[in-house]
Every structure is written in C-alpha cells, then in structure tokens.
Amino acid sequence: MMNLLLTGSTSGIGWETLKALLPHFDQLFLPVRNLEKAQKMIQSLPERQKIQLIPMDLSSMHSVKKGAQLILKSTDQIDLLINNAGGMYPGGKLTEEKLDLTFTTNHLGHFLLTLELLPALKKGQAKIINVSSEAHRIATSLNEDWGLRKAGNTINAYGKVKLYNILFSKELKSKFETDGIQAYALHPGAVKTAFGSETSFIAKAIIRATQLFFISPKAGAQTSIFLALTPKGKLKNGGYYDKKKPKNPSSIASDPKAATDLWNYSLDVLRELNLISI
C-alpha cells in the first residue's frame, strides 16, 4: 500500500501533479480549503475512489492540526508528502492567529503538517518534496525577521518564504535521514496560473508583464513528478532541483545554521499557540 499526501492539489501545478501521480498510489490524501470545489474537481478523475479529501486551511495552524489528526486516523503510513500549496499575498496581511499570511501559507502550515505526520512519514520512510522557487534568491538577508512581522514588501516576503522551503528541506535531511526520510526542494519554473491574484497592484503588474514567458502548469509539474517517481538512490537528499536536475541554491539557502534557526523559530511559534509541547 503506497500512500501520497499532496497539498495545493486543486489548481495549477498541484492539479497536474495529482493527475500524473494518481495511477501510482493506492491512497491519496488531499488537504483542501474549499471542500465543495475539490469534490467537483475530482469527479473528472479516474480511480477517484482512491482519494480522500481532508478539510484544511494551511494558513490556520489549528486547522492544520485538526486535519493532520484526521489523516492519522485513516492511515499510519505515508510514503510521499508533497508540500505544494503556496501563495503570494500583500505584505503585513495577518491570519486570525495574528501571523503573517505569506509565512503561514508557504511555510508554517507545511512545517506543522510535516511535524504532526512524522510517525507515519517515518513508517513509510517517506520522500518529502517542498515546492520552492528561484525567487528564493531575492532573499539576500534574513535579518532574523523569520515571521515576516516587519516585511512590508510583497515580493521580498515571497522570496523569503521560498528560501524557507529550501532551508526546511535541508533541516529535514539533517534530522531524519537516519529514519529513512529524504527531503528535496524544487523550482517548478515560472508557471502561468492564477498565482499572485491577491497581491498588491505593483506585484500584479510585474506578474502580468512577465506572463508571456511563463510555462504551462503541466510543464511546471514535471520536476515534482520526477522527484516523486525517481528511486531515492538516484536523488540527492536535501537537494534543490530545477528542470529535474540538482542545482545550487543561494548561499543563504545552503547555510546549516539558518536552517536550524528557522526550525527552532517555527517550533517556538507553535508552542506559543499551544499546538505542540516539544
């Protein structure tokens, strides 16, 4: 029995990833924010009986905790986790838990989800795939503002969280390689989707001006699919991939201290919300 968990599955590269991987797994768990939309979408899929939809809003840590508990009631083993969901939002936009929306949707929600599912991931000796971006190179300094509480610029905030995806992958390798878990980050390419629709006017203008050079969601999903289906022995644990090949990320993304600091900060935030005790 091979089990997959994929976030952000109802649009863009997530939808293309889901369609490509559906034949290869026995059970697919899809955390979704809009349950009604997801139910309608999967009706078009073959083997849709394999799919279990899990209500979850990745920007809400309490929702993530509840959704993870539902998943663990259905299975004790996950073989592949793809942290694909993400978004670009106006700087300073806060969630109900008073956290930055860009930070929670792109990093902290996936961090908590992965943490909660660790027993099942260890049992499956899972691969964990984190969808990052070449936009991580925008982040040239971290300034210890891990939670983006001082970040007012949409583009800079997005660059930071895409950097976090790579740091998260590297820390997962450091902490859980001995458990058989492997983690990778990737750049999907500049993909033409509705991405960025909730950003500032300037950010929208930049996205629209460059969309002529964007690739299709199907093309953007190819590196995720490659990492999902390629045997572990042929992949670089902790690696950053672009166009199905390893690529050197920025120097900050390769800093082990930054990876550990991000991990510890993320734990501290979750402790403040009384969601974890470790």
Cα 176 off chain centre by: 18
The two tokens of residue 76 are 């004790």
Coil/strand/helix, residue 273: coil
The amino acid that residue 32 corresponds to is V
CA distances, 72 to each of 24, 34, 82, 270 (Å): 21, 21, 16, 20
CA distances, 182 to each of 60, 89, 177, 222, 236 (Å): 26, 30, 6, 19, 9
Residue 141, judged by CB atoms within 10 A of its CB (0-12, 13-18, 19+), counts as exposed
Place of tokens 């040239």: 140
How many Å apart are CA 154 and CA 59, to the nearest integer? Answer: 17
The answer to whether 117 and 71 are in contact (CB under 8 A) is yes
Closest by Cα among 47, 48, 50 to 39? 48
Please confirm, yes or no, whether 158 is among the known catalytic residues: yes
How many Å apart are CA 134 and CA 170, to the nearest integer? Answer: 16
How many Cβ atoms are within 10 Å of 10's Cβ, its own excluded?
20
Catalytic residue among 89, 158, 164, 241: 158
> Which residues are known to be catalytic?
158
